Amino acid sequence: MKPLKVAIFAGEVSGDHLAGALMAAMNRARGIRWRGVGGDTMLGEGLAPVFAMEAIEVNGFDAIVKRLPHLLARIREAADAVIADPPDVLVIVDAPEFTHRVARRVRRALPHLPIVDFVSPTVWAWRPGRARAMRAYVDLVLALFPFEPAVHAKLGGPACVYVGHPLFEAMQRPAPPSGEALLVLPGSRRGEIERLMPVFGQAAAAAAGEREIQVLAVPHRRAQIEALAADWPVAPRIVSGPNAKAETFGAARAALAASGTVTLELAAARVPMVVAYRLDGIGRLIKALHPVLPIVKAPSMVLTNIVIGRNEIPAFLDDEGTPEALAAALRPLLADEAARMAQQATFDAFHGAMAVDGSPGENAARAILDFLAARSG
């Protein structure tokens, strides 16, 4: 069997890890010749790079504007590399601002080339029209959440297959942790940390009682978190490093978390939680316009709630999340077994919905190979 030629493009570190797991599984199944853009994980699986992934990594809107001519040139370079040496399939991995633009250019030049998108854009949360638009240049979506195939079908998007979520796979536990600390997770972005740390500090101090308060800090934000925690009524223990997540999750009785993918990890690890978020100026403008111009479509800002279809995890958006409201929601999760068991029942439903046979990388590889076999007849 001659090697399969696969072009694969990722635009950020998380996509590199996803793509690396996919590549490893496909390499075990058959011979592959890889070409595209990725990071160290993908390079380790045999990727021949068109250019280094660092060439397209940017942080923040201002950086995108400043580097726009450079980024557009890299998009053209990536697409031209595929067009010049057509593969058997093009796989784009997350980072839609980069990868979807590459896919659109390739589809115009090679209309019959199969294109697979690994990670659905959040069409279920905002800009749902993107799903139908994707049909013009994507043939198959590999989804990380079990509700996404139905969403794409409803919105007129491409064929979509649920393959599992690597963060759920990595963090899932059959039973809740046995720790006693109150865990605080203020996020990973500078702005959200600045907005959440003061209110989280007051809420944690009011709810914790004699319990230890631990703060999980991403390493590159530790100094900022330490500076903001200095003003808390009760001094927390700040934890960061390669094993920090496993350590703090295992020591937690309950968590106060910023909205984001960490709430998925908490649910996978069965840590009872309260979730909050404080909007920036643009977010508040969108919220104010929502009654007349609904932009955000998500039924909840907590991924666990979306997966199970019920708003069971307490969530507080913006000014709703006062220290008093957060503390009142946290206290039962620290002391009331009935409240704790109610969240464990929620986690049971979540685990049931997220479960897959095999790993996400293996399932994604199988889906691509089956898709290509079906197309070839």
pLDDT tens across the length of the chain (377 residues) = 789 999 999 999 999 999 999 999 999 999 999 999 999 999 999 999 999 999 987 655 555 667 788 889 999 999 999 999 999 999 999 999 999 999 999 999 999 999 999 999 999 988 899 999 999 999 999 999 999 999 999 999 999 999 999 999 999 999 999 999 999 999 998 999 999 999 999 999 999 999 999 999 999 999 999 999 999 999 999 999 989 999 999 999 999 999 999 999 999 999 999 999 987 666 555 656 555 555 556 668 899 999 999 999 999 998 899 999 999 999 999 999 999 999 999 999 999 999 999 999 999 999 999 999 999 87
SS3 279: coil
In sign, the C-alpha dihedral spanning 16, 22, 26, 27 is positive
CATH 3.40.50.2000 residue window(s) in the chain: 4-164+356-376, 172-354
Name the phi and psi angles at 216, rounded to 5: -90, 120
Answer for the pair 92, 120: CB distance below 8 angstroms, yes or no: no
Q: Which residues fall within 8 angstroms of residue 332, CB to CB, at 6 or more apart?
A: 338, 339, 340
Which CATH number applies to 4-164+356-376: 3.40.50.720, 3.40.50.2000, 3.30.413.10, 3.20.20.150?
A: 3.40.50.2000
SS3 34: strand
In the structure encoding, which two tokens stand for residue 179, read together? 């720790």
Q: What is the pLDDT of residue 287?
A: 54
Architecture of domain 172-354: 3-Layer(aba) Sandwich (3.40)
Q: What is the pTM of this model?
A: 0.89
